[in-house]
Structure 1
Amino acid sequence: MDSTAVEIDGSVMEGGGQILRVSAALSCITGTAIKITKIRAGRSTPGLRPQHLSGLQLVSDLCSGSLQGASIGSTDVSLTPGKIRSGSHVADPQTAGSVCLLLQVALPCAVFADAASQLCLKGGTNAEMAPQIDYTLKVFKPIVERFGINFDCDVKMRGYYPKGGGEVNVTVNPVKELRPVTLTERGNITKIHGRAFVAGVLPFKLAKDMSTAAVRTIRKEIKELYINIQALQEKEKACGNGNGIIIIAESSTGCLFAGSALGKKGVYADKVGIEAAEMLLRNIRHNGCVDEFLQDQLIIFMALAKGTSRIRTGAVTLHTQTAIHIAEQLTQAKFTISKCEDEMSSSVTYIIECHGSGVVNPNL
């Protein structure tokens, strides 16, 4: 083990897979060796799960690194990064582990390669405890591209719990450096749209029930907008059975918010629709510019960008605080969070400001 490695406590704050993703990506980009201890110590199944393991292997592969302690259930892992290399990389946890979380760890690394990278990510496209692929494409992608990042995503096959079997091909173009981003003016909500889907043997009626219940719930609060939630039957391009819904709201200044839910055995479809609608409403009631899920996903890019980024959010989540903690440990970035009283709305919003570390791609 390299004595100069930075030790990261994997049990602090949120204490989950996010610590692994942010620290592994930053290790890869900054060339800093890391040792993560007490991985997921507080979880019911501590240590690395298949998805975390394939994420770490993907990063190690991307940066020609060496991994120690990388096995299922391991609570200590070390990564010594080499040079980031472009080309084709595959990650397959062989479970319904989320492809979106694999993308979260790989994307920042691939941005600092010497040429375009092709990532073939397998697993669950619409998985619990992770963004749905539709969220990644419709909310995360357009916002993260404001940093100057450019990537394409092709959903070859959707995969659902418990089998997985999904496949997403991503092409990431490298950049010299990332631009800072300012998202502080919300404007008005101008559009609400989404998709309610069923896949496999599940009846189409479930999709219609989810959609109808979601529209009805949003209508109680937002009366003036046309709400278009398409009900879809996924026949081809879907592996296994699943149902779910994602609803997206757009604002006049280009802010994006979402609410989503997945069906489970024994849960009525309209309940799934209502859950997603309530999540969306919760995310647009405050006058922030990002929803609770985008908040923490932007931290790593703010930390890497050259210049000062500012984003206005609702309550700052523990995931976000954890990402900031790791980013400050592994980069020169400095974050401040300030509360703003908003005369327009009764709810409190916060400005997360970051003086980015201005990482320059040495390979370009």
Structure 2
Amino acid sequence: MAGPRVEVDGGVLEGGGQILRVSTALSCLLGVPLRVQKIRAGRSTPGLRPQHLSGLEMIRDLCDGQLDGAAIGSTEVTFTPGKIRGGTHTADTKTAGSVCLLLQVSLPCVLFAASPSELRLRGGTNAEMAPQIDYMAMVFKPIVEKFGFKFNCDIKMRGYYPKGGGEVIVQMSPVKQLNPINLTDRGSVTKIHGRAFVAGVLPFKMAKDMAAAAVRCLRKEFRDLYVNIQPVQEPGDQAFGNGSGIMYD
């Protein structure tokens, strides 16, 4: 049963979208009605952007909740959650808005759904001011799975600024509870590998130059370690738009 509505000031601290994502996910999980005011008050363009709106709408739909005041530019929304259900849920920013931030708000919710879930997330896979999809797959995923759950992250299409067009499909089964973990020991770096990529009209030489420069810089700091950064030209049928980047772990 829903309790008293929680009031959240979206303009505190950084005043960005993270306050909205965290509070909405917690509202959905706890079954507590929510109102968020001053949404993204700390940004140059306050209010909801397409990525935030599509994330809110997906959370509303996956729990059969009620969402009021949600539109592009809105600075205040109210949300009344229902029961979280599994199945296939889709969010499409229709821009280069980050699919990783869509995953941030939705994954905690479907983790405790009544049945397995599939999230179809569309937008930018490698956007500015957001985690890269490579980070989510290579760093975030293995760490959170230590809590006792698994999920598949299938990158169907990479999407870049300004049009996005990427698609990621995430599949997972629900759990009853999470396991405690201990991550107080950082361990030691034993090797470094990664990829320098280009997509669209950007030349492959750019990827090779980025890879070579990264290897030179890393070997100055880690002289005795194995370092391997591979240059990659993203296939045309697996990337939408022009983009570049470098990832290593």
- TM (norm. structure 1) is 0.67
The CA distance in 1 between the partners of 2:104 and 2:242, in whole Å, is 25
* CA positional deviation for 1:3: 9.0
Q: Which residue of 2 aligns with 1:134?
A: 134
SS at match of 1:220: helix
Deviations 1:254-311 (A, max 9, x none): xxxxxxxxxxxxxxxxxxxxxxxxxxxxxxxxxxxxxxxxxxxxxxxxxxxxxxxxxx
Matched residue SS, 1:182: coil
- Which position in structure 2 is the counterpart of 1:303? none
Which amino acid letter does the alignment assign opposite residue 83 of structure 1?
K
Could you tell me how far 1:42 is from its partner in structure 2? Answer: 2.0
* One-letter identity of the residue aligned with 2:211: S
Q: Hey, what does 2:188 align to over in structure 1?
A: 188
Q: How does 1:242-261 map to 2 (within 5 A)?
A: 242-248=243-249
State the alpha-carbon separation in 1 of the partners of residues 168 and 178 from structure 2.
25
Counterpart position of 1:100: 100
CA positional deviation for 1:180: 1.5
Unaligned runs of at least 5 residues, structure 2: none
Report the counterpart of residue 170 of structure 1 in structure 2.
170
User: What is the distance in 2 between the residues matched to 1:188 and 1:157?
Assistant: 34
Q: 1:224 to 1:71 in 2, by over 3 A?
A: same
Matching of residue 88 in structure 1 with residue 88 in structure 2: yes
Provide the residue aligned with 2:205 in structure 1: 205
| Count of aligned pairs | 247
Following the alignment from structure 2 to structure 1, what is the Cα–Cα distance between the partners of residues 93 and 243?
19
- CA shift, 1:190, in A, is 1.1
- Once superposed, what is the RMSD of the aligned Cα atoms? 1.1
Quote the offset at 1:187 in angstroms: 2.0
**Equivalent position SS for 2:7:** strand
Q: Distance in 1 between matches of 2:3 and 2:48?
A: 23
Structure 1 runs (4+) greater than 2 angstroms displaced? none
Name the structure 2 match of 1:143.
Answer: 143
- Indicate the SS of the match to 1:189: coil
Distance 1:109 1:66 in 2: 16
**So what's the TM-score if we normalise by structure 2?**
0.97
- CA deviation string 1:130-174 (max 9, x = no partner): 111110000000000011121101111000000100001110210
Q: Which residues of structure 1 form unaligned runs of 5+?
A: 249-364
> Corresponding residue for 1:33?
33
Aligned partner of 1:159 in structure 2 is 159
Per the alignment, residue 117 of structure 2 pairs with: 117
Q: What one-letter code is carried by the residue in structure 2 that aligns with 1:240?
A: G
Instruction: Name the counterpart of 1:179.
Output: 179
CA distance in 1, matches of 2:25, 2:77: 14
